[in-house]
């Protein structure tokens, strides 16, 4: 696992944090604006699921390519090029009227997201020392969560007052934050690569690393993807449940959906501090599965409410569980994946999650044609709990059989990567502590957090 060897570059962390938060707001602004516009125009569940599938498919199909790009191409080049492309595509989307053109543009917008997500996820660990990793990664994911919180709320307000075009124009401007961050962040990865050092004990070098060789990571990815596939239909069903079954306005819809994201923010603050107490990676995975079960319970409970505002406390609690799981998944990946392979790892994890979500989107669209929203919400919660119970035993076996991650040795000096790249190697004993535990300077402002995996999938932790 590779980290900076000197002081953590918190200025770079904050730039990446701001870029992720603003761009995430744009992602959710687009998704929510289009969903509300379709529902208000009388479109059915298949139309909504079609847009969500278009926003998800590139994240799955392009994962092998974008993961390698994140590891091999200069991070600055990717952020600047993808940010400019996404801004232009979203601008065109604001004026597109034909449904087929809208779907094509949504898919192209998601292709840009597929390129930037693994870049930012893999950049954060090389900006900081090992001791600061939980704080930095969770802080970065907090920004994504705040963006996801603001996006639906803004969409509900703007679509209700002005229609779909103004929020789409605002979203187009949000992607320029990636361009600014790409130009200003000093830490870089990718580009010219250093030679692989000889690793002790038969460890696999980064160039030969495969996620399938780590049973614990395979179990983690399978459990998260399985639960999301089971409960993912809620992302299609909820707009009809809140707007039609519960008779709410677009503004209330934005408020209610934002409650889950607010819970993720709180959960990230809480569970980022719990990470240091889970010194075994197997315990980390088991705790994450328990939190996923809590998410599914909250989805099941939401089916019983008589009024939309009663969903707010339920969604906040569900979001807390979701945020904790996201933090655990992110730290587990950072602990067990060699630095040079992290782009591929985050891309593979994201593709697995998004692929599972696609199953839920398709199921939600089809089921809405034959069933009412309320029983479908309950069915989503039950299905998620069934998957949690089914994977619990295999995951426990994988946890017992897991070996500690073999970390890369420290290089003799700073490696010759990009001109202002920052690298170093540390091997933390057990879970990385917080900066405040060591007397080191902590970043100003709120601590950490993570993305929305169970109900919302940033179109769009991630890592997680």
Biggest alpha carbon–alpha carbon distance for the chain: 64
Q: How far, in Å, CA of 260 to CA of 313, rounded? A: 9
Q: CB atoms < 10 A from the CB of 139, how many? A: 28
What lies within 8 Å, CB to CB, of 352 at 6+ separation is: 221, 222, 224, 225
What lies within 8 Å, CB to CB, of 93 at 6+ separation is: 30, 102, 105, 106, 109, 168, 172
For residue 128, CA distances in Å to 116, 192, 398 come to 20, 21, 30
Q: How far, in Å, CA of 84 to CA of 200, rounded? A: 43
- SS3 readout for 32-43: HHHHHHHHHCCC
What per-residue confidence (pLDDT) applies to 230? 92
The ranges assigned to domains in the chain are: 10-190+210-405
Of 196, 234, 246, 241, which is closest to residue 52 (Cα–Cα)? 234
Helices (H) and strands (E) in the chain, counts: 16, 0
What lies within 8 Å, CB to CB, of 14 at 6+ separation is: 443
Q: How far, in Å, CA of 362 to CA of 429, rounded? A: 44
Q: How far, in Å, CA of 179 to CA of 112, rounded? A: 12
Give the residues across from 425 on adjacent strands: 2
Collect the ranges in the chain with pLDDT lower than 70: 1-6, 43-45, 191-208, 276, 279, 401-464
Sign of CA dihedral 141, 106, 33, 161: positive
Of 133, 173, 105, 118, which is closest to residue 13 (Cα–Cα)? 133
| DSSP structure class, residue 2 | B
What per-residue confidence (pLDDT) applies to 464? 31
What lies within 8 Å, CB to CB, of 214 at 6+ separation is: 336, 402, 405
Q: How far, in Å, CA of 402 to CA of 395, rounded? A: 10
What lies within 8 Å, CB to CB, of 181 at 6+ separation is: 15, 16, 18, 19, 79
Tell me the per-residue pLDDT of 83-134, one tens digit each, with 9 for 90 and over.
999 999 999 999 988 878 888 899 999 899 888 888 888 888 888 877 777 7
Tell me the per-residue pLDDT of 264-294, one tens digit each, with 9 for 90 and over.
888 887 887 787 677 677 788 888 999 999 9
For residues 422 and 126, the answer to whether their CB atoms sit within 8 Å is yes
For residues 300 and 269, the answer to whether their CB atoms sit within 8 Å is no
What per-residue confidence (pLDDT) applies to 457? 43
| DSSP structure class, residue 432 | P
For residues 452 and 322, the answer to whether their CB atoms sit within 8 Å is yes
Q: CB atoms < 10 A from the CB of 437, how many? A: 12
What per-residue confidence (pLDDT) applies to 405? 52
Which CATH code of 1.20.1250.20, 1.10.4080.10, 2.60.200.30, 1.10.3720.10 fits the domain covering 10-190+210-405? 1.20.1250.20
Q: How far, in Å, CA of 304 to CA of 451, rounded? A: 26
What per-residue confidence (pLDDT) applies to 429? 31
Of 71, 412, 453, which is closest to residue 461 (Cα–Cα)? 453
Coil, strand, or helix at residue 85?
helix
Q: How far, in Å, CA of 265 to CA of 14, rounded? A: 17
């Amino acid at each position: 696992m590779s980290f900076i060897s000197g002081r953590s570059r918190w200025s770079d962390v904050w730039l990446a944090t701001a870029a992720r938060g603003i761009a995430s707001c744009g992602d959710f602004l687009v998704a929510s604006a289009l969903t509300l516009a379709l529902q208000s125009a009388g479109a059915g569940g298949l139309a909504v699921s079609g847009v969500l599938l278009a926003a998800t498919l590139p994240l799955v199909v392009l994962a092998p390519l974008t993961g390698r790009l994140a590891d091999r191409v200069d991070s600055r080049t990717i952020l600047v090029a993808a940010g400019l492309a996404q801004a232009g595509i979203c601008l065109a989307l604001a004026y597109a009227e034909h449904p087929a053109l809208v779907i094509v543009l949504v898919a192209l917008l998601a292709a840009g997201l597929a390129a930037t997500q693994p870049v930012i996820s893999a950049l954060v660990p090389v900006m900081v020392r090992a001791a600061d990793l939980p704080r930095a990664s969770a802080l970065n994911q907090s920004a994504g969560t705040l963006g996801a919180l603001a996006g639906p709320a803004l969409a509900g307000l703007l679509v209700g007052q002005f229609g779909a075009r103004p929020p789409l124009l605002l979203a187009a401007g949000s992607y320029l934050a990636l361009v600014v961050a790409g130009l200003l962040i000093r830490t870089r990865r990718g580009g010219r690569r250093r030679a692989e050092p000889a690793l002790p004990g038969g460890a696999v070098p980064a160039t030969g690393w495969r996620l399938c060789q780590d049973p614990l990571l395979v179990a983690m990815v399978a459990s998260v993807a399985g639960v999301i596939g089971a409960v993912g239909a809620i992302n299609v069903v909820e707009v009809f449940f809140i707007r039609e079954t519960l008779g709410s306005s677009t503004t209330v819809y934005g408020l209610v959906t934002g409650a889950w994201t607010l819970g993720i923010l709180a959960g990230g603050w809480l569970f980022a501090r719990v990470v240091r107490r889970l010194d075994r990676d197997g315990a980390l995975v088991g705790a994450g599965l328990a939190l996923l079960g809590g998410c599914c319970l909250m989805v099941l409970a939401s089916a019983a409410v008589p009024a939309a505002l009663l969903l707010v406390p339920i969604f906040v609690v569900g979001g807390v569980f979701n945020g904790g799981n996201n933090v655990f998944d992110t730290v587990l990946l950072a602990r067990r994946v060699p630095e040079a392979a992290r782009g591929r790892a985050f891309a593979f994890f994201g593709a697995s999650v998004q692929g599972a979500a696609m199953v839920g989107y398709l199921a939600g669209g089809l089921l809405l044609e034959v069933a009412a929203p309320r029983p479908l919400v309950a069915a989503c919660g039950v299905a998620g709990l069934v998957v949690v119970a089914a994977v619990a035993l295999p995951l426990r076996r994988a946890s017992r059989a897991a070996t500690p991650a073999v970390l890369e040795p420290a290089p003799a000096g700073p490696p010759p990567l990009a001109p202002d790249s920052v690298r170093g190697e540390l091997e933390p004993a057990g879970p990385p502590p917080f900066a405040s535990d060591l007397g080191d300077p902590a970043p100003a402002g709120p601590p950490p957090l993570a993305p929305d995996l169970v109900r919302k999938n940033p179109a769009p932790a991630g890592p997680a």
